[in-house]
Structure 1
Amino acid sequence: MQEILDATQAGDWRTLDPKNTLYLDLANGRVVIELAPAFAPAHVANIRALAKSGYWNGLSINRSQDNFVVQWGDPAEDDKDRKPLGRGAKAKLPAEFARKSDGLVFDRLPDADGWAPEVGFVDGFPAARDPAAKTAWMAHCYGTVGAGRDVAADSSNGTELYVVTGQSPRQLDRNITVVGRVVQGIELLSVLPRGTGPLGFYVQPTQRTPIQAIRLAADVPKKERTAIEVLRTGTPAFAELVEARRNRRDDWYKHMAGHIDLCNVPLPTRAPPVAPAQAQKAPSAKGKKARK
């Protein structure tokens, strides 16, 4: 895999759009989340408004359920005690479980999937598609970020967000709104102590992890942004990477699987390469008398 990545060209990589990049800043580091407005436009717009108003600043991570999810938001149980949403954010949003597949560039994987007729990637996001129904949706893979809801399908508004930190719970596909994925810093969430309350919620307030800030990258000074590039999923390099993971040809593997699950396909990221410094030119001797 590393040999394939080393051979990539600059055009095989893309930079994250600051307007669709969310920074979750904790005391021990930053989690970078790429938002998916093509799949959940109403939720992403609300998340942008919430971030701009500083809604999550000073709130906490309140849940860490083993082999499932980490969740953050307002820990208050009563509505009267909850933090106001702030300017521009809406309290009510439509459910955005799936969308029409028309107009989506779908980079399909070659293997069958147990949860959908077709799976692959849309703009780098793990996704599924039903050609007969002409619908597409984002898949619950490791690192997927979704909007928690109550029983009603339209009971999420983006204030309670979760990230998958366990084995891919694909049964959630098309049952909850997916808003993006973590592209860097997932280890800061996956190692959090597991909650001992029901569904992994923390019993004591002191067990919660404080959130320093959640901001859009576009609202962060450029010098404070996280420089990161993501491998494009519609390139020959990515197709070669997928095949290398489907059939491991290194000496350690004695049997080639010839198959890969959607959520086992890696989505490489990297820091942008540093441009080589221009060679310093030697002082010109033009116009000077040559020495003997």
Structure 2
Amino acid sequence: MNRLFSIASLTALAIAAPALAQETEKPEYPSPNAIVEQAAPEEWVAIAPSDLLVMDLAPDSEGNARRVVIQLMPPPFSQGWIRNIRKLAEAHWWDGTSINRVQDNYVVQWGDASEEKALPEGLETVPESEYVVELENLPEKAFKKTPPGTYDDPDLDAAALDSRTVSDTDPYADWSSFVKGWPVGTKDTQTSPVHCYGAVGVGRNYSPDTGSGAELYTVIGHAPRHLDRNIAVVGRVIEGIEYLSSLPRGKGQLGFYEDKSKRVPITSIRLASELPAADQPRFEYLSTEGETFAKYADARANRRDPFFIVPAGGADICNIPVPVRRVSGE
């Protein structure tokens, strides 16, 4: 009797299974990339050529060109160093310098290895106070605290939401967010750009030295957020990071090359606006204040597309890279 009951019960369950599956079938969610691909043209913001720094390295061992493009930080962040960097580029100061340090899972650094090359006149000495910006001096709508995970309903109208504030559980800041397309962290009343992969910062000596901008580095490893508010972030690599991250690691202290022949020569560094029009790279980034970015940020924090089983329920600010794309010139 028990056996017959069990078989009958299993048969009933088997018949009911298709209907149950239909009732519990998970809705389809787009991937973050698919969301970005659907962004309206007006949600993309053009990057001015004057805000792009183009670094050409010596060709590789097979004769292939190596170009790295850096987007400079917009106001109100790090502008003293940005002004210095513009002067250095306009003076062609970096021509003939080199990449001198490659530290695994940390940074690639470049500048004058001899430390004897004269700097252009008129460079600013930037105070440590410029590492941060007071919250009251940021755009009025910079921080609206909407937690991640809001888009459980794929048909939800995102216009009423604002994901510029990504997390209030950031261990390095009271909360993290985006301002004008850049990841930032706020501690107390002070906001600073954060060190994500590809971020470009200013090398310096011990405090109170803040660096001139002549010595620069980019992050090629896990985001070193402990550097936030301690060193100036002045930009980010938006193309060509592979030419830096794949370089042989230095064997000296902190990854400096002990063998001078290992240093990678820098042919030139120019503002893109100085290059011939046909050679000027053109890029645009997805506005971090639009509806599409809000959905994209949520999708990065809560992956629900088919490959994923369990949404994470949150994301580090550096795990939500702002989409940047190259566009053809006019």
Q: Note whether the superposition's TM-score is higher than 0.5.
A: yes
Q: CA deviation at 1:145?
A: 0.7
- Secondary structure, counterpart of 2:131 in structure 1: coil
> Counterpart in 2 of 1:47?
85
Q: Is the contact between residue 125 and residue 181 of structure 1 (CA under 8 Å) also seen in structure 2?
A: no
Partner of 2:33: 2
Distance 1:184 1:271 in 2: 9
Partner of 2:158: none
Aligned ranges 1:102-251 → 2 under 5 Å? 102-105=136-139, 106=142, 107-130=164-187, 133-251=188-306
State the AA in 1 paired with 2:36: L
Find the aligned partners of 2:181 and 2:213 in 1 and give their Cα distance. Answer: 21
8 Å Cα contact 1:53/1:87 also seen in 2: no
1:31 to 61, 68, 72: 68
Alignment gaps of 5+ in structure 1: 276-292
Question: TM-score, normalised to structure 1's length?
Answer: 0.87
CA contact (8 A) 1:111 1:261 kept: no
Per-residue Cα deviation, 1:97-127 (whole angstroms, up to 9, x for no partner)? 2121224232211452111011011111110
Tell me if the contact between 2:282 and 2:328 (Cα under 8 Å) persists in the aligned partners.
Answer: no
Partner of 2:134: 100
Classify the secondary structure of the residue corresponding to 1:146: strand
Q: Which amino acid aligns with 1:220?
A: L
SS in 1 for 2:289: coil
Question: Which one-letter code corresponds to 1:68 in the other structure?
Answer: Y
Deviates more, 1:6-15 or 1:22-31: 22-31
What is the CA-CA distance between 1:236 and the residue it aligns to?
0.7
Percent pairwise identity = 43
- For residues 227 and 41 of structure 1, the distance between their equivalents in structure 2, rounded to whole angstroms, comes to 22
**Residues 111 and 259 in structure 1, CA contact (< 8 A), matched pair in contact too:** no
Q: CA deviation at 1:31?
A: 1.2
Distance 1:129 1:155 in 2: 21
Larger deviation: 245-254 or 114-123?
245-254
Give SS of 1:75's match: coil
Residue 29 of structure 2 corresponds to: none
The amino acid across from 2:117 in the alignment is: K
Question: How many equivalent residue pairs?
Answer: 268
2:68, 2:329 → 1: CA distance? 23
For 2:286 and 2:51, how far apart are their aligned partners in 1? 17
Q: Alignment partner of 2:206: what SS?
A: coil
- Contact persistence 1:153–1:176 (CA under 8 A): no
1:20 deviation in Å?
2.0
The separation in 2 between residues aligned to 1:93 and 1:154, in whole angstroms, is 9
1:274 shift after superposition: 8.4
RMSD: 1.7
TM-score, structure 2 normalization: 0.77
Conserved in 1, the CA contact under 8 Å of 2:45 and 2:286? yes
